[in-house]
Amino acid sequence: MNIQTVSYNHNNIFCSVRTNKAIEKEQFVPNHALIHILAGQIDIVEADSHSTFQAGDTVFVKRNSLAKFIKTPPDNGEPFKALSIFIMKHFAREYYAKHLLDHGIDQNSCANIRIKKVASTPLIQGLFASIYPYFDSGMAFSQELMEIKTREAILILLQVDPSLQNCLFNFTDPGKIDLEEFMCKNFMFNVPLETFSKMTGRSLSTFKRDFEDIFDSAPSRWLKKKRLAHAHYLIKEKHQSPSDVYMEVGFENLSHFSSSFKETFGYNPSSLLDP
């Protein structure tokens, strides 16, 4: 494998390679994901938690999760490497109908499970060891093989951690939740308003209407103000640099963050660090 290449994607099986520390822009996980770290470290940051996983670890991420993924290469100069298997909703539904239809699913038992480390067993290790050579050698990864490996992943997960069954086969969409609490916890995630509306159990139009009723502001205006205020706090009180802060608070690039900051506060963010 050419280690300079950032990623390889075969349908719903994905290989990520990073030569430098990177914060992934994709923060909304629409499908279940099983992530196995081959080299380096991955930090998964949610609104109220921060989990760190090392080489050899395997992590289950529940669909409809909102998180930042920070990928850090090891200290030996090798790149960060990870394999991910995404279990699409339609695939899980077909598997359930074929193999587990007689099993009852507790829709509420996995409400608090979003990120979970999976026990490292020979079955888990063997699954990913059988996948990586296809990426490493550049061999073709057919649709049939992808489906076989995804079914194998589900079967192994159910054996290694039967409690995940209720998460894997919960096909309900998020219900209507407290909008104010959710937005105040998740404002730093740079995702479309459609994602926020879906995660709070609303249509986009209802989300905008409810938002303005609660915050007396349009969502985009409130998000910008909230993110800049948080950035101001991180730079001034926590002595973080603007280059470390802008992505953390939900901006895509440093120049846009700096110009927005100056427009709002009347001075550059870097001036907060001046002695």
Write the CATH number for 37. Answer: 2.60.120.810
Query: Exposed e or buried b for every residue in 144-153, given b needs 16+ CB within 10 A?
Result: ebbeebbbbb
What pLDDT does 106 receive?
Answer: 67
Give a yes or no: residue 102 inside a domain. yes
Q: What is the spatial distance between Cα 251 and Cα 25, in angstroms, rounded to a whole number?
A: 10
Range 13-17 average pLDDT = 89
For 166-206, write each residue's pLDDT tens digit.
Answer: 889 988 888 899 999 999 999 999 999 999 999 999 999 99
Q: Is the pLDDT of residue 57 over 90?
A: yes
**Domains in the chain, number:** 2
Q: What is the spatial distance between Cα 219 and Cα 16, in angstroms, rounded to a whole number?
A: 33
Q: Is the pLDDT of residue 4 over 60?
A: no
Q: Which residues contact 140 (CB under 8 A, 6 or more apart)?
A: 134
| Token representation of residue 80 | 């960060």
The model's confidence at residue 275, banded by pLDDT at 50, 70 and 90, is: low
3-state secondary structure of 155: helix
Give a yes or no: residue 174 inside a domain. no
Give a yes or no: residue 1 inside a domain. no
For 17-26, write each residue's pLDDT tens digit.
Answer: 888 877 776 6
- The region that residue 84 occupies, defined by phi over 0 for left and psi between -120 and 50 for alpha, beta otherwise, is beta
Give a yes or no: residue 95 inside a domain. yes
The model's confidence at residue 163, banded by pLDDT at 50, 70 and 90, is: confident
Domain that holds residue 184: 179-273
Q: What is the spatial distance between Cα 13 and Cα 35, in angstroms, rounded to a whole number?
A: 10
Range 235-261 average pLDDT = 94
Q: Is the pLDDT of residue 138 over 90?
A: no
Domain-ending residue, one of 168, 198, 226 = 168
Q: What is the spatial distance between Cα 165 and Cα 62, in angstroms, rounded to a whole number?
A: 11
Q: Is the pLDDT of residue 1 over 70?
A: no
Model confidence, pTM: 0.87
Q: Is the pLDDT of residue 2 over 70?
A: no
Q: Is the pLDDT of residue 67 over 90?
A: yes
Q: What is the spatial distance between Cα 37 and Cα 35, in angstroms, rounded to a whole number?
A: 7
What pLDDT does 175 receive?
Answer: 86
Domain-ending residue, one of 137, 168, 199 = 168
Shared-domain flag, residues 74 and 210: no
Domain-ending residue, one of 142, 168, 194 = 168
Give a yes or no: residue 125 inside a domain. yes
Shared-domain flag, residues 238 and 261: yes
Q: What is the spatial distance between Cα 42 and Cα 96, in angstroms, rounded to a whole number?
A: 31
Shared-domain flag, residues 164 and 242: no
Shared-domain flag, residues 260 and 214: yes
| R_g over Cα of the chain | 21
Shared-domain flag, residues 137 and 211: no
pLDDT mean across residues, the chain: 90
Q: If you average pLDDT over each of 64-68, 224-228, 248-252, which comes out highest?
A: 224-228
The model's confidence at residue 5, banded by pLDDT at 50, 70 and 90, is: very low
Shared-domain flag, residues 188 and 269: yes
